[in-house]
A and B are shown apart, each in its own frame.
Chain A
Amino acid sequence: DSGVTQTPKHLITATGQRVTLRCSPRSGDLSVYWYQQSLDQGLQFLIQYYNGEERAKGNILERFSAQQFPDLHSELNLSSLELGDSALYFCASSVGQEVIDEQYFGPGTRLTVT
């Protein structure tokens, strides 16, 4: 158990809908990272937040957005969902803001768009 929690574990929704994925980092960690893993694209880094502020941005689509709240939990919002958004979404956390810090991964949320 990494100490990082993600909810929900599974999510099934229809195209065009909007969903919110939630992540709670390990106690004491200030950074949260979001990743997407799909069958065709593999793992992709989406975005990092550090202590409430966006720290780094990767391959995040404009239809996706994220935020980190004062209690350090983070939410990833996915809107206008497409079939291709079906994937595993992982969040990870680390103590510092540098990506070189060791990251602890959550169990993931499996999103299925039908």
Chain B
Amino acid sequence: KNEVEQSPQNLTAQEGEFITINCSYSVGISALHWLQQHPGGGIVSLFMLSSGKKKHGRLIATINIQEKHSSLHITASHPRDSAVYICAVLNSGGSNYKLTFGKGTLLTVKP
């Protein structure tokens, strides 16, 4: 079993829909990172969070440390949101550092 599991693997939505992408992990973490990878390959860091909730524009990320689960929500989705969304969990302590990535969720938003 992978340490980081994302669901769904693929998601197709209509423009305007509310979208949720889930990330579950099996180890204790220091922080969780959500990334967006565009079809051309470029990567954008969306959120780094260790507790609670963060919001940026139409994107909201939440994390529940006890349940080892994080969600990325997109409100009023748009075709330009089409991308691969990747979560990564960080275990760190001093110079020890382990960053484990999920396999990504491919989101396609149709007009």
Contacts and interface: CB of A to CB of B under 8 A. Distances in A.
A56 B41 contact: no
Given A99-B31, A99-B90, A58 B99 contact: yes
Interface residues of B, dominant DSSP: strand
B45 A103 contact: yes
Contacts of B69: none
B103 A42 contact: yes
Interface residues of B, number: 23
B97 A48 contact: yes
Interface stretch (A16-24, A62-70, A71-79, A104-112): A104-112
**A interface bracket (residues with beta carbon within 8 Å of B):** 20 to 34
Contacts of A49: none
A108 B42 CA distance: 7
Contacts of A45: 88, 97, 99, 101
Contacts, number: 56
B86 A57 contact: no
Interface in B22-56: 30-31, 35, 41-45, 48, 50
Interface residues of A, dominant DSSP: strand
Contacts of B41: 88, 107-108
B95 interface: yes
Contacts of A43: 35, 86, 88, 101
B97 A100 contact: no
Contacts of B102: 42
Interface of A: 2, 42-45, 48, 55-58, 88, 90, 92, 99-105, 107-108
Interface of B: 30-31, 35, 41-45, 48, 50, 86, 88, 90, 92, 95-99, 101-104
